[in-house]
Copies of this chain bind each other. A is one copy, B any other.
């Protein structure tokens, strides 16, 4: 955590306060001194204390109210930040060579649930593709993706997904989008097992993701990871 020495006052104050909170000098839900008092104690400007306290409040370990004062969060909620890297980086991070293969591509009318995800009408068709992602030429993840042609019509004319996978192409084309992700466990079906060269019934880690931008739905996909895959983070 505090591996990088910060000689800056507001960082130092923040870490000092963090320690005091974590050592239970102030108990859960308890009021801590006011900014003015802390400024006096630390011998710095109130601005500096304010900055430190706001940062801790952003982290969720303090709760602040005007006039009410600042108190230690009564129920410390653990928040894990997990970055969702693109597959190429995920594979290269473990020192393997990344490659991918487009095994299916079509324009078709998606199922009801997919239509709902992309907010498209009943008759409308969409772009569909299946991709197998490899680490050192061994299947690593299998991707089923639908792309909304109303939002990203250019994809229909995009012929070359050899260098850039569809995901990477989309990130370049629609860089800042919001999305919803969910993680679950999934028994490998005949199709997913075949794509990942594993057994039917294997426990696959499934990432479900739908992204949109300015209210326009862009893409929805299912990403099946091989057995043994772990998504890790710190809290």
Interchain CB contact under 8 A, A179 and B78: yes
Decide yes or no whether A94 CB sits under 8 A from chain B.
no
Whether A181 touches B22, Cβ cut-off 8 Å, given contacts A61-B176, A203-B186, is no
Q: List 25 A-B contacts (CB under 8 A).
A: A1-B178, A28-B172, A75-B86, A75-B171, A77-B84, A77-B85, A78-B84, A78-B179, A79-B82, A79-B83, A79-B84, A80-B84, A80-B181, A178-B234, A179-B235, A181-B234, A182-B231, A183-B205, A183-B230, A184-B228, A185-B203, A185-B204, A185-B225, A186-B203, A187-B203
Select one of B22, B176, B225 contacting A22, CB under 8 A.
B176
Whether A227 touches B185, Cβ cut-off 8 Å, given contacts A78-B83, A84-B79, is yes
- Which of chain B's residues has its CB closest to A80's CB? B82
Which of the four size classes fits the interface of chain A? 35 or more
Interchain CB contact under 8 A, B230 and A184: yes
Q: Mark A198-235, 1 if CB is under 8 A from B, else 0.
A: 00011111101001011000000000010111111111
Interchain CB contact under 8 A, A181 and B233: yes
Copies in the complex: 2
Interchain CB contact under 8 A, A230 and B80: no
- A21 and B176 CA atoms in complex are apart in Å by 8
Shortest Cβ gap from A214 to chain B (Å): 8
Measured between beta carbons, the chain B residues less than 8 angstroms from A178 are: 1, 234-235
Decide yes or no whether A81 CB sits under 8 A from chain B.
yes
- A141 and B171 CA atoms in complex are apart in Å by 36
Q: Which secondary structure characterizes the binding site on chain A?
A: strand
Decide yes or no whether A69 CB sits under 8 A from chain B.
no
Given A77-B83, A79-B84, A185-B186, 20 more A-B residue pairs with CB atoms under 8 Å apart are A28-B172, A28-B175, A77-B85, A78-B84, A79-B82, A80-B81, A80-B181, A180-B232, A180-B233, A181-B232, A181-B235, A182-B230, A183-B231, A184-B230, A184-B231, A185-B206, A185-B225, A185-B227, A186-B203, A203-B203
Decide yes or no whether A24 CB sits under 8 A from chain B.
yes
Shortest Cβ gap from A145 to chain B (Å): 16
Shortest Cβ gap from A59 to chain B (Å): 11
Measured between beta carbons, the chain B residues less than 8 angstroms from A176 are: 21-22, 61, 76
